[in-house]
Amino acid sequence: MKVVETAIPGVVLLEPVLHGDSRGYFFESFSQREFQDRVCRTTFVQDNESMSRYGVVRGLHFQLPPHAQSKLVRVVRGRVWDVAVDIRHGSPTFGRHVAVELTEENRLQLFIPRGFAHGFAVLSPEAVFQYKCDAFYAPESEGAVAWDDPALAIPWPLPADRVVLSDKDRSHPLLSQCGALFDYHTDYYA
């Protein structure tokens, strides 16, 4: 796998090495050993999958300590605009985001470390999205930031009248209303 740094340290793209011939293709989508050696010393404990239709925006979600989660995400069918937002107070990139298009064709994966909010928008008629998480889902620790917070300036590539949200995702606070979420100087992997 090729590891590609983004504009925010710790948020990385993983590009698989594709082996193809007349029969089709093969690639290793995940190796715990290689991931720990090259990206982050964490262990994934839960895999999730969602299917969503065009215009659905999910996010911007996170889990607070002691159940903070890293995520490794990819699209197995369709196309999404995937976003990671730095919500670590004191970080030089606090409030900034990384956005990347993940598709079944490019097979890219995005690693979102602890201390980041995550969300995505579906750009294809439907998309199947997979998440590897390094902490179990803990509803008492879940949090979120408004997907359309103007201070974040995320360029969602959807017409506003086509955005589909859950009731829950319609009511998240702005980042400025959240108080202290994560601290840049705390090692959430210790």
Residue 20 has pLDDT above 90, yes or no: no
Which of 61, 97, 118, 172 is flagged as catalytic?
A: 61
Check residue 31 and give its pLDDT. 87
The model's pTM is 0.94
pLDDT digits (tens, 9 = 90+) for 89-141: 999 999 999 999 999 999 999 999 999 999 999 999 999 999 999 999 999 99
61 is known as an active-site residue: yes
CATH of 2-183, one of 3.40.50.720, 2.60.120.10, 1.20.1080.10, 3.40.50.300: 2.60.120.10
118 is known as an active-site residue: no
The pLDDT of 152-179, averaged and rounded, is 96
Check residue 28 and give its pLDDT. 84
pLDDT digits (tens, 9 = 90+) for 27-53: 888 889 999 999 999 999 999 999 999
Q: Is 141 helix (H, G, I), strand (E, B) or coil?
A: helix
Which of 97, 118, 131, 172 is flagged as catalytic?
A: 131
Check residue 1 and give its pLDDT. 87
Q: Which residues of 39-58 are buried (b: 16+ CB within 10 A; e: fewer)?
A: bbebebeeeeeeebebbbbb
**75-to-69, 72, 115 alpha-carbon distances in Å:** 19, 11, 22
The DSSP bridge pattern shows strands 182-183 and 88-89 to be: parallel
